[in-house]
Structure 1
């Protein structure tokens, strides 16, 4: 999970002050010292940390906090608000041009994930905003860059404008915009060339493309795992191109979070989106307040709900609810639900969105081994259709056959059968408890 080290450190610090009936200046001093160390360890820019700590101190020892009935909680509120403001304050939405198409220029160093991010952004615009983007292949230098974008276009069933490696990138970008107008595409996303480092030739070409197509957005794609280097790159690109926003890739990786917490403060450009996985749907709008909540262990319920709404079919959810209520939920239904939950992203990330999950007994520091889910799927897929519908018919020979077919043991098969039976009983109790309330049963997460 992104910010894992920073989150653990800050949550531990906040816990010490949360329950205090009174908060002294010494308490605030000790807390801000811990926050400062945590941020510096997370590779946050030194000047950014210094300014942030100064603001937290001023507010935390002010009348607003000291006269509060719950000073400890008020201090945590101050820290959350300042972290939110540090990352941009509120979500910065994508620009929409008065005339069609809206032109987005993707820039960045080689290896940041720019081409893949171009595909992810196109997919996001179509799924979330019902748009029809055209992708423009303007990286004529990197081997196979054009082929990569064309492959992404095929996977997404989206048009890609390309003129090969011999054409001028400025001409490609300009002609792509004209093609989009002719084909009534409402967005053009231009995948530009990158270099291993910022150089004059790269910037000259990007400035020419900017001058030619007059983009509505210029997004810098940076690898969140590069820490302060990402901030330095952002400064260089911003000076030359006047960026409109930043897209952070690999935010779900083993990153300390320094880039996300520094870029807005240093460049005054908002983080617009974040890449959160290798799949083309591993991409989401960046919400500063939600990210601050996750860092402080307060969860991110809104993002969890949005993921659920995107990945779960409403008709299927209603059918499943009826099955739960009548205890007719089968292993086939269970397999289907597992698939939908997996589509929502890594389970550890989902757990991080549930408020207080990190403090729940048995879940704190729990490592969710998604490989175990592979065994569960294998066991279910090794069952016959009748066995999935009626697990009660399982006898010793059936269990032995299933274990052999799934590469597991009979004890693992028995464990799954027992857990499944307990889950069905619990579901029936929960839906039964809610039955009669306006004729509707309980709504479950991910449904």
Structure 2
């Protein structure tokens, strides 16, 4: 067996293979929100006249979802129900959420779901049967494109992502039951489009390669019909690895665990079109903190589609969250640098096991060596290969810069 156990790229590919969501889970998520969308467009629907549109958001939409840490955990499928023919002048956040509640409950009963519907601060939650191992959050929303575009253009901000902006509900807000213009803002479609723009060329090349391979095998396929989640890019793979590293590191400190949207946003900013997972991962670890700003009072990690939304807003009231992020970044740099310098698959696994988990790390080594324990522990890495793979990170703590042009 001709296996080069010193290649960090091959080992990272094996890690991603162990983290990837099975394709049927993506299909399951797709069927779930489409099924609910069809339900609220049925003839008897109480909201059909408001032209509701249901779509996926979050890690399933971005292609960065990872397997749960344990079999007891569930996949969280985030979705939006946008009522395109309603405005904030028509009703309050409370009223909109109650409109959605009626249909969520009727869908729940029609599908013979046994677990009761739950209410979240911003959404309704449908818990599927135990064997399904997932739940679906449904956020009620209204279009907010025109207002968002005016807001951004008034202060000369880039408004290219504003066409898909929405207003959402949040029962924690004091004006939740008031009819007002001041609703929480969001833009999952815009964020997804921005994220796609950060890897557009690599994604297109990989789609073409996969389509060509399928066509050679006799299948009819086209780039246009190929879903993004069926092609994993180096950016998506690196984010998946970093999220699992984060999960394990903060398994006993969930309250300060860096949130996924921060890791995803900083990683996408730092990515420079690298064609390999190792190239993407080490560039992200090297550069991601360069995109954290400080305005003299607080840290700012702006939503790329809405610079008035600060993903690090909790860091000011809870400084331990900021400390946790920088502690995690320092640890991730050290762990993956050690893995890159390892001389065997076993040494790579040993370097990453404390944060990536024993089973995932060992299974990755087994994938690399075909389960051959002697090969897994073999040494003899080439000096040139090790030198090329080994990253170098600055030891000095970086001071975030002052943000330009946003609050």
TM-score by length of 2: 0.26
Highest Rg: 1 or 2?
1
Structure richer in helix, relative to its length: 1
